Every structure is written in structure tokens, then in C-alpha cells.
Amino acid sequence: MPSIDEITILCYVPFVESYIAMLGEDCYCTMRHFPRLTWQERKTGQVHRPYAEHPDLLWMLERGGEIPGFVTFYLFPGQSYGHIDNNGVQPKHRGQERGTFMYQ
């Protein structure tokens, strides 16, 4: 999971920065879930919690002993529905269609 945590944090920095820019730091800090945790702890927890219960719903792309990306998802067969959840590709692997491959 350390590689997944690293990718998660790298990929979500721009989202967190945009939320803070839109809301302001005080508002962002006030409205976030689990305020005692850093955003990094909260975000990696969003990947760890489902993985602990359903490890088969986290797919990692491995390439040459490295993990360039991952995708988490949920399946609802009774509804013929699937939901892509947290996912990311290391910045140095972007633009190489790794995300597209994982989604397929």
C-alpha cells in the first residue's frame, strides 16, 4: 500500500489546493470530514478502508516492478452498474494511456 498511498497523495494535491483556493483555508478546514486527520490521512484512508474489506476491488498496474497507477471500483451486479472510485497514475507515467488501460 505505500506505493498506492504515494500515488494517491501526488494525484490529489491539485484537488485539495483548488478546494482551499475556492473556499479559503478556514472554511476548508471547518467543513472537512475527520478534522483531526490531515487531508493525506483522510484521502489514503478512503482507499485503505474499502481495500481492507474488498481487496479484489483495487487494481494496481504493475510495470517492471513499479506501480505506475491504480484504480478502485465498486460493482453492483443487481443493478448492472459499476462505479469507479479513487484512482491515480504517477505523474511521470501520465499521457501514456495507463489510466485508460486500467479503466478498460
**Among 61, 66, 65, which Cα is nearest to 100's?**
61
Amino acid at 1: M
CATH at residue 61:
3.40.630.30
Q: Give the tens place of pLDDT for each residue, 38-72.
A: 999 999 999 999 999 999 999 999 989 999 999 99
Q: What confidence score (pLDDT) does residue 42 get?
A: 92
Q: What's the pTM?
A: 0.85
Determine the structural domain holding residue 33 and report its residue range. Answer: 2-103
Q: What confidence score (pLDDT) does residue 7 get?
A: 96
Please give the Cα distance from 16 to 18 (Å, whole number).
5
Number of domains in the chain: 1
Q: Confidence class of residue 99 from pLDDT cuts 50, 70 and 90?
A: confident
Please give the Cα distance from 46 to 74 (Å, whole number).
13
Place of cell 493525506: 40
User: Contact at 8 Å (CB) between 59 and 70?
Assistant: yes
Please give the Cα distance from 24 to 20 (Å, whole number).
5
